[in-house]
Amino acid sequence: MNTLNYNNKRVTPSKVICIGRNYVEHIKELNNEVPNAMVIFNKPNSAITDTLYYMSEDTRFEGEICFLVEGAKITAVGFGLDLTKADLQNKMKSKGLPWERAKAFDRSAVLSEFIPFNDDLASLRFELYINAKLIQFANYELMIYKPKEILQEIESFMRVEDGDIIMSGTPKGVGNYKKGDLFLAKIYSKSELLLQKSGSFKSKREIPLHQIKNYIAINSKLSSAGQPSEIQLQELAAEGVEVIINLGLLDPNYCLESEAELVDALGLEYYHIPVDFQDPKREDLQHFFFLMDTIYEKKICVHCAANKRVSVFIALYAEHKFGLTSQRADAFIQQVWHPNEIWNSFIRQARQELESLYS
């Protein structure tokens, strides 16, 4: 479970409770309607981080005053960035669907440390600077719903655990960010600076590509891998990958739910050739060969659950397309696994039939 720093100790929030559309000018800048009731949504514990990661070009930052709750009371204040995949959120909203994919993804709640605060909540304000330019400003008076009213409304239908965080909404000034941007957040009580956060708010890479299961960079244009996570797909896109090919089955135990939608939201091409691990077919390999011939000049990542299917298909393609010897092809496969009898039989048969695959 992810933790945050509160009064020099580590706290594990069960959730982050977010308030949407709590500033009139922000509602106007996104062309939203003023809600008749408080807009509330949650981010899970897995969303919590203290570092701003680069996600994608359409990811939007939203600076917010945040509160930590203990004993059904607000006891501490901090700063947070609510990261939002704007394009995906717009798609979800247009279809009347929930926002979780756009709001509740891993590392989407970027939180500072929290400091005890027992003074007047009405004295609070924050400033957010990006590259030394003031981008967002908010104070208590600009909030439509005030902190105590927010907590009361949340508790009317949902239990708030000790350590849970409330993100109180963002003012106008939200926007996209890019790698290398330097964020500086300040929270004041009247004129007193309570908290200043910078440095770790610099964007940086999330998860190195080599941490994708059985990831292999074959050359500058082609890589193979096991199942990437949502964030790892974002990393692949950031590395310039243009095409994702999935050879795995749509098994919830091994696949990423709605991968096609996620890849589409990143602006990449997506192709799915479901290969049954227990019964690979000649037609699957033929489909793969034709697809690779069509898109080979693009930057491609081919994956399945654990890179086993992929290693065989790519090795056989390299034999046929580039004259790779069977010994070198076998060595490539064995970087990932030693095929079982089903796959050894498939490989032997495929090699015998390679000349007919395009006939």
Alpha-carbon distance 176 to 167, whole Å? 19
pTM of the model: 0.58
Q: Are strands 73-82 and 63-70 parallel, antiparallel or unpaired?
A: antiparallel
Q: Are strands 165-167 and 15-20 parallel, antiparallel or unpaired?
A: parallel
Terminus-to-terminus CA distance in the chain, angstroms? 55
Kindly report the average pLDDT of the chain as a whole number: 90
For position 237, what pLDDT does the model report?
84
Same fold, 4-197 and 209-356: no
Strand partners, 204: 53
> Which of 93, 121, 73 minimizes the C-alpha distance to 32?
93
pLDDT in tens, 172-219: 999 998 877 888 899 999 999 999 887 434 333 444 566 788 999 898
Alpha-carbon distance 191 to 202, whole Å? 26
For position 251, what pLDDT does the model report?
86
For position 200, what pLDDT does the model report?
39
Tokens describing residue 351: 């090699």
Domain locations in the chain? 4-197, 209-356
Q: Which CATH class is domain 4-197?
A: alpha beta
Tokens describing residue 336: 């990932």
Contacts of 136 (CB under 8 A, 6+ apart): 63, 126, 127, 128, 170, 171, 172, 173, 174
For position 51, what pLDDT does the model report?
82
Tokens describing residue 150: 């927010």
Q: Which CATH architecture has domain 209-356?
A: Alpha-Beta Complex (3.90)
Helices (H), the chain: 24-29, 86-94, 100-103, 147-155, 230-238, 259-265, 282-295, 308-322, 326-333, 341-353
Within 13 Å of residue 254, how many CA atoms lie on the same side as its CB?
A: 17
Question: What's the one-letter identity of residue 77?
Answer: V
Q: Which residues of the chain have pLDDT under 50?
A: 199-207, 358
For position 310, what pLDDT does the model report?
97
- In order of 1, 43, 286, the CA distances from 48 in angstroms are 9, 8, 44
Contact 106, 55 (CB under 8 A): no
pLDDT in tens, 89-117: 999 888 888 889 999 999 999 999 999 99
For position 212, what pLDDT does the model report?
87
The residue whose two tokens read 């890479």 is 205
